[in-house]
Amino acid sequence: MSTKHHQAGSHPPSPGEQQHPIGVYLKIWLLLFLLSTGSYLVDFFHLQGGLRWSLVLIFMALKAGLIISIFMHLGWERLSLKCLVILPPIAILVLIVFMASEGRYTSDSRDNHFTAYPQQEYHP
């Protein structure tokens, strides 16, 4: 019988563990570098307005998705765990959009009401 000796601190992969080749991580690092370069180019070319914020948010979401799926190993997890991690931020984003639209409506209605009927100065 032969026994395998392992280095101190290392352990053989258990049946539930997955070993991913280093090439996957290097490709993701390169892709993250390219996405970061793209987000820096948005500032370099002085893009403004909706285009700027759209590109920044797209690059941010892509980088976050890659980091979560590969480096945090969520890509290899069950659907229930993926939903547990992904759905709450989406729900919060939807609520933020609702609150922002309600705030905009309130601000616009106040502006319309108070500018249509300017208040007169009070003279006792």
Render pLDDT for 5-31 as a digit per residue (tens, 0 to 9): 545 555 565 666 667 789 999 999 999
Residue 93 lies in a domain: yes
Each residue's pLDDT tens digit, 101-119:
999 999 998 888 777 556 6
- Is 15 domain-assigned? no
Residues 98 and 110 in one domain: yes
Q: Are residues 25 and 66 in the same domain?
A: yes
Torsion angle of the four alpha carbons 24, 6, 74, 33, in this order, in degrees rounded to the nearest 10: -30
| Any domain includes 8 | no
Q: Say which amino acid occupies 56.
A: V
Split into its structural domains, the chain has a count of 2
User: Mind giving me the DSSP string for 53-102?
Assistant: HHHHHHHHHHHHHHIIIIIT-GGGS-HHHHHHHHHHHHHHHHHHHHHHHH
Residues 34 and 44 placed together within one structural domain of the fold: yes
**Whole-structure pTM over 0.85, yes or no?**
no
Instruction: Determine the structural domain holding residue 58 and report its residue range.
Output: 21-76
SS3 117: coil
Within a domain: 11: no
Domain shared by 28 and 68, yes or no: yes
Residue 98 lies in a domain: yes
